[in-house]
Each structure stands twice: as C-alpha cells, then as structure tokens.
Amino acid sequence: MHVDSQLGRVIQDEHIDAGGKPVEQVAAEARVTMEKNRICLVRGFPLDPDRYLAFLGRFGEPLTNYSSLSALEKTDPHPQINRVKYKKKVTGAQSVHYVAGGLRPHTARSWRAPRPECFAMLMVEPGWRDAPAGERGESVVLSWNDLFTRLAERDGQVFQDHFARLSGTPITFQANNVREELSSQPLLYPLDDATGPYDVGVRLKQDLRDKIEGIRDQIPEFDAYRTSLHYLLDNSDDDRFFACFPMESGDLLLLDNHRFAHGRRKIVGEYVVDGEARTNNRELWSVTVQ
C-alpha cells in the first residue's frame, strides 16, 4: 500500500486540527487547504450529524443520500448522510455501503447532472485493525491529474488516443437504485479553472465496465470506446497510483469530486470466536455536496 505516496503525505501532513474549534473556524481553515490542494483532511471532528452537515454547508448543498432516494433498506443517521457499515446480506438487493469487499476508485453521483462539487467522509468507528494490511478498510484516493500526467509520460500516443476518445464521446448512464437527472457529458470533461491539459473532471461509476454493455447503441465505434474505457478502469484501479491510508475516528476527508476519485480497501466483515459470530463495527458517514 502506498501510504507514503506524495499525495498521501500532503493529505496527512497538511491536515486541519478541529479540536475545540467552532465549525465556522474549521470550515474556514479547510477552505484555504481546499483552494490549495483540492483535498483536505480534518482531524478530531465531532461525531455529530448536525455539525458535520453544518461544516459541509459552508462548501455547498449536502445532497439527499442514496438510501433516501432508493428502494433499499434505510439505516442512515440523517437524510443527507450515507452510513457505510458492513451488514450481512440475508435476502434481496444490498447497498454497496453494506458490503465487505473493496470499492474501486470512483466519483460520487457519476451519473448526475449537474456534477456534484465535493464528496466527504467522516470516520465514526475504524473497526478491526488486527486484520492484514489491505483488509482494514483503508481509504483510497486517486488524483486524476496525477494519473493522466503519469500515463501520458508512460504511454505516449496510446494514452492520447484513449484520452481524446473518452473526452469527446458524450455518454449517459443511470444509477442502479437511484433516479436523478442524468448527465450527457463525456466521462472526461473540461473544467473552467483547469491548471493544465490533464486537469479535467471525471465521472466514473465503479461498475461501469458492466453497465457500458447495456448502452452500446448510444456510443459510436463502441468497440474502440470500450477499449478506452477498460484502459481507464484498469489504470485507475492500479494501486501504484493510489494514496492509501487508514482513517481514525474523527477524521473527516473532503475532496473535490471533479478532480479526485475515492475508494476503499476491503474489510473483514465477520469472524467466529468460540462459536459466536462477531461483526466488524467499522462505520463511516459519507455525504455528496452540490
């Protein structure tokens, strides 16, 4: 795991300490870091839904969460907060927020128009830490600008062809259980405040590899497009490009949803001790901000 990556060091070394400060002050300090790095880690944030949402309200409008917009079971602490916590599946569909498997890097509300500006995660309970590294639910962050810069250097014209195709082909897809206004932008889209040729927004659904097959009729030169999509997915899932680190209770990570993808290593969901099944109590609250 690349805990010592440059991005990982920046995130952790330039964190904000929330201890004893009013929400307004923490938000003001976080805004300075967001303007500089487009990502900010706040440590020691209160585990309180109202204060969490008050903080995020300084950066935009917290959106209604997935469960509130879907037919899945709802166990969230607030209509705008997604509880990410392992839950053993019994029957029927299950939210990705309840599974033990890892979550590949993706962007929040990738299907949605307009594009959400920010995504936030507040660690409530980090859960079991005696599992092997890579199975503790470590947070994963991916900078698209960094990834594309490195791929351009490594792959030259091959990268340029894939980048051009994914930047120039409009595409519309839906969420699995949520119905919202849908974007028709390309997967890679321009930003008004871009700092370079690869500083673009990305909207990437973690199961897009499968979902793309159902919308092939809307995509010109589908086989070539699918090849470019697989190139993007394979490289964005390569841990050599990740910043990866465990979050502690009270850690709040706020990131630019255009410029960063987020994900998670898998967790050990349960084990049996003396014939009794025990469940991992890891819990994280996520919010998408418009």
Q: pLDDT by residue (tens digit) across 175-224?
A: 877 788 999 999 999 999 999 999 999 999 999 999 999 999 999 999 99
Contact indicator for 216, 10 with CB cutoff of 8 Å: no
User: Looking at per-residue confidence, does 80 or 135 come out higher?
Assistant: 80
pLDDT at residue number 110: 96
Predicted model pTM: 0.91
Full set of structural domains in the chain with CATH: 6-143+242-289 (3.60.130.10), 145-236 (no CATH)
What is the average pLDDT score of the chain? Answer: 90
Peptide bond into 114 cis (omega under 30): yes
Answer yes or no: is pLDDT of 100 > 80: no
pLDDT at residue number 154: 98
pLDDT at residue number 87: 77
Answer yes or no: is pLDDT of 63 > 60: yes
Q: pLDDT by residue (tens digit) across 209-218?
A: 999 999 999 9
Contact indicator for 53, 81 with CB cutoff of 8 Å: yes
pLDDT at residue number 199: 98
pLDDT at residue number 218: 93
Q: pLDDT by residue (tens digit) across 27-57?
A: 999 999 999 999 999 999 999 999 999 999 9
How far apart are the C-alpha atoms of 271 and 86, rounded to whole Å?
Answer: 13
Q: pLDDT by residue (tens digit) across 137-154?
A: 899 999 999 999 999 999
pLDDT at residue number 94: 41
Of the pLDDT bands very low, low, confident and very high (cuts 50, 70, 90), residue 10 is very high
- For residue 278, which phi and psi values (nearest 5 degrees)? -115, 140
